[in-house]
Amino acid sequence: MGDAFIRHIELLGYEKRFFPSQHYVYMFLVKWNDLTEKVIYRRFTEIYEFHKTLKEMFPIESGDINIENRIIPHLPAPKWFDGQRSTENRQGTLAEYCYMLVNLPHKISRCLHVVNFFKVRHDDMNPVTDSLIKKPEVFLLPKDSKKNPTDITGPIVLQTYRAVADYEKRSTSEMALQAGDMVDVVEKSENGWWFCQLKNKRGWVPAAYLEPMDGPDESEEQEPNYAGESYVVQKSYTAMEEDELTLKEGDTIQVIHKLLDGWWVIRKEETTGYYPSMYLQKAGEVNTSMKSELWNRSAPPRRSTIRNAKSIHKQGRKQISQETYRRNSKKYIQSQKKANAIIEKNEPQENRAMAQPAVPPRPSKDVILNRCTESTRRRIL
């Protein structure tokens, strides 16, 4: 495949650590050319030293010779003391810096200095911790702020979820779980794979294996929308269960219920069933590289297929039966057909009401002589 290079660097947020002393590290999701994704942690002082070396390696592009030729982005020097406020406020600048860095000419963005700095280190996978000191506190960038780094509203503390059953990982990017494990969710993806961390382990976990601590998670799911949203199938899938649908690439369907485990209820004509959301794309949207990355990961397990699941909550999640989906979906389709039929039926009447009246025939000479006035009779004489 050739030399490794970075396709994208995304700032996820920052982490407050307490060992060996209190300090802050930034979290980056690094996407490589082999479609792997790695989360790394770097102090700002490390990033600034990396930046200084990069400028020395490329003096022309850094503006040392002529300031007008500078293309390497600016990065402010670290403060004498970096507290939480300065760490938080610097996120916008750092997110923009990473975006510009990856988009520099290849001789800079793909040089060994850049590649080696963003490679996963041993400390990224196994950070030095002390069991007697409280675990790190993690703060995430809001989703909207990633689109516009200047509009950062503040940190978001990670949510803690519990594993309801054992899960054996299937790839190096995933993380194994045991029933009862408490994990912090870093990123929730609508495809049903959530990026989590457990002590010194991090990786993708099926959302179906996780439950919130405060009760069933129906509140996080949208209500069914039987009107449906148009989506296009990006990857074919053959049904493995009776309530799933088999579709081909290019098929157009309607999504009527988006579920957290990444298996959405869809409608194809009058048939409904489950389908992996990661293989769907909203109609009208341009295909993205993210979709091709997801193809390399299999569809996550469904909640209903998990065996020996043990919840700590007395009240389980409310589940809608497939028959209910079918019945309500057919009811909606029938109501739409009736509405369209009424419109078509009323349309000719409206057209007739708007039509011009017919021109009456010209009266005969005898009628004019017998019924019209004297002046009118003179005109025909």
Taken in order of first residue, the domains within the chain and their CATH numbers are 6-140 (3.30.1520.10), 159-212 (2.30.30.40)
Neighbours of 155 (CB within 10 A): 19
Q: Which residue has the tokens 């402010």?
A: 76
In this prediction, residue 216 carries a pLDDT of: 64
Q: Is pLDDT at 105 greater than 90 in this prediction?
A: yes
Q: How confident is the model at residue 10 (pLDDT cuts 50, 70, 90)?
A: very high
- Residue 336: CB partners within 8 Å, gap ≥ 6? none
Look at the pTM and tell me if it is higher than 0.75: no
pLDDT band at 320 (very low <50, low <70, confident <90, very high): confident
Residue type, 341: A
Distance (Å, whole) CA 21 – CA 326? 58
Of residues 112 and 142, the one with the higher pLDDT is 112
At 372, give phi and psi (nearest 5°): -90, 170
What SS3 string covers 17-50? ECCCCCEEEEEEEEEECCCCEEEEEECHHHHHHH
Tokens of 166: 């054992």
Residue 222 has pLDDT above 90, yes or no: no
Does position 153 have pLDDT exceeding 70, yes or no?
no
Residue 215 neighbours by CB under 8 Å, 6+ apart? 313, 315
Comparison of pLDDT for 365 and 18, the residue scoring more: 18
Task: For residues 183 and 163, give the distance between their C-alpha atoms in angstroms, rounded to a whole number.
Answer: 8
Q: Is the pLDDT of residue 289 over 60?
A: no
Q: Are 161 and 177 in contact (CB under 8 A)?
A: no
Question: Which residues are 198's β-sheet partners?
Answer: 201
The arrangement of strands across the sheet holding 156-157 comes to 37-42, 23-32, 6-17, 137-140, 156-157
| Residues 306/192, Cβ–Cβ less than 8 Å | no
pLDDT digits (tens, 9 = 90+) for 238-283: 999 899 999 999 999 999 999 988 999 999 988 999 999 999 998 8
Average the pLDDT over 59-84 and give the result: 87
pLDDT at 322: 87
d(CA 204, CA 188): 10
Q: Is the dihedral of CA 36, 190, 101, 11 positive or negative?
A: negative
